[in-house]
Structure 1
Amino acid sequence: MLKNKADNYKEKSKKSFNQQAENYDAGYYGKHANALYNTVLQKLNQFSFNKLLDVGCGTGNLLSLISSKYEVQIVGIDLSPEMLNIARNKLDETADLRLCDSESLPFNDNSFDMVICTDSFHHYPNPANVLAEVKRVLKAGGNFIITDPWLATPFRQFANIFMPFNKDGDIKIYGESEIRKLLENAGFNTIEWEQLNKRAFIATAHTTN
């Protein structure tokens, strides 16, 4: 996507989430995200990890759950300063929260052994760039877990016609084959995709180098 157009979507997302931040957790989108968290935690139980990055961490609900369950270093990034302010009030000072763009992660190569992205991937105008950054900061043998909205094919195609025109910076709802292709092109392997319900999916991907 052209830079100016991509930047416009990012600004729409940032503005929308800044406005929603104070009431996000109690609203529709917060509840949709919260409904996915138990599944993410169940997936995390399958892996051993010491340092986790949450891409699009929002108000920090999932990071708070992770920090209460695992003795690991947690890091979160988000484009919305107001969402991060809410997150900081939920997490202790050991949590590393950064205001940044998911296409330009401020971390060294091979920094994490687990990266998660929950209910934010559909906001990214350049998903391949985001996945390239996730792959870069993951250590060899690391894992990536992504959950996002999903719709059956005819409904998804219809929704995607209008989605880029909404005020919240949504871009696209992805199908299984699209997610698999994006992950494979980014260099991930051992990809597993699972439909959670009529409205969401979860995918896990592994990196060997």
Structure 2
Amino acid sequence: MLLQLLSRFYFFVFDRLICYHLLKIYSAQFKIRFMNLGYVNDNDGAVNNAIRENGVEESEAPHIGLYEKTLSLHPQYPSLNDCRLLEVGCGQGGGIDWINRSHPSLTSVTGMDRVAIRDSIVTGDAHDLPFKPSSFDIVINIESSHLYRNPQLFFDECSRVLSKGGHLCWTDLRFDGDEKQVLNQAEKAGFKLVSIEEITDSVIRGMEKVAQRYDQILLTAPWYIKLFGDTFRKTYCAPGTEAYVKREKRYWTACWVKK
């Protein structure tokens, strides 16, 4: 039990004080614009068409696939006309760049993260979004909410900043069965479920492709980054790490509408 607590504390410190700041320095050099595990499904025509039509680099296709899969649950997808979109937890900003490029009918695309990598990203906390009520029509949140200390506050804040009839498009991992808690939190925040889908197998395929590239990057990284090599590999669930071998969590994508 003590070892588990120490491990969780270490990963918390690594995520908050080390990982993001190293990425801020080296993301441009190593061309790292995304931080999600990826999504690959050869039978998902909607997602694959969006990737093909917009000329995506092969190394970024799995990451972009997860964005498109998440957005595809929106009732108006692929047409998102006249909508104001916010990504909570946008990381490096690759996702908002992609959405701007692939969905030009959106009125605006805003990215927010706890650590803003670039000036165009708003600095903010998912528990206290720095936006006025009804500021957006779509909120997208990818592979981020499992890190929040209070997911209920996150759902409450999403409801506050969304206009009535607006949609929350969400993707993340949870221990098997814990997705029910997510559904309860969203409902408590005033959302009605539109669609939910388990995508674990497709994420694992994406994760394997992503890990190949990141493992190559680690080989050429400075020595002080290599010191955290095992931790980075655990973060992106590389084959051979505990997270990849045990596979104790399931991956879900869902869309809700604000009542």
Aligned to 1:162: none
Aligned to 1:204: 255
Alpha-carbon distance, 1:60 to partner: 1.3
d(CA) in 1 for partners of 2:35, 2:110:
22
Could you say what secondary structure the match of 2:112 adopts? strand
Which residue of the other structure, out of 166, 184, 187, is the alignment partner of 1:184? 187
Aligned to 1:37: 67
Aligned to 2:15: 13
Larger Rg belongs to: 2
What are the Cα deviations for residues 16-55 of structure 1, in whole angstroms up to 9, with x where unaligned? 3222343486599544481512312433415555200000
Aligned to 1:99: 123
Aligned to 1:79: 114
Q: Map of 1:101-180 to 2, 5 A cutoff?
A: 101-152=125-176, 175-180=178-183
Q: Which amino acid aligns with 2:256?
A: A
d(CA) in 1 for partners of 2:125, 2:97:
21
Whether contact under 8 Å (1:49, 1:114) holds in the other structure is no
Which residue of the other structure, out of 58, 77, 94, is the alignment partner of 2:91? 58
- With structure 1 as the length reference, what TM-score do the two structures score? 0.70
Could you say what secondary structure the match of 2:172 adopts? strand
What are the Cα deviations for residues 104-145 of structure 1, in whole angstroms up to 9, with x where unaligned? 111110110000000111110011111111100000000001
Could you say what secondary structure the match of 1:43 adopts? coil
* Residues 41 and 207 (structure 1), Cα distance of their counterparts in 2 relative to 1, 3 Å cut: closer
Greater shift, 28-37 or 114-123, is seen at 28-37
Q: Which amino acid aligns with 2:90?
A: C
What are the Cα deviations for residues 66-104 of structure 1, in whole angstroms up to 9, with x where unaligned? 1012232011110113xx22xx6xxxxxxx520111111
Alpha-carbon distance, 1:187 to partner: 1.1
- CA-based RMSD of the aligned residues comes to 2.8
Whether contact under 8 Å (2:171, 2:251) holds in the other structure is yes
Unpaired runs of 5+ in structure 1?
Answer: 1-7, 89-95, 154-174
d(CA) in 2 for partners of 1:77, 1:29:
14
* Residues 145 and 185 (structure 1), Cα distance of their counterparts in 2 relative to 1, 3 Å cut: same
- With structure 2 as the length reference, what TM-score do the two structures score? 0.57
d(CA) in 1 for partners of 2:82, 2:256:
14
Q: How many residues align?
A: 169
Alpha-carbon distance, 1:9 to partner: 8.8
Whether contact under 8 Å (2:173, 2:251) holds in the other structure is yes
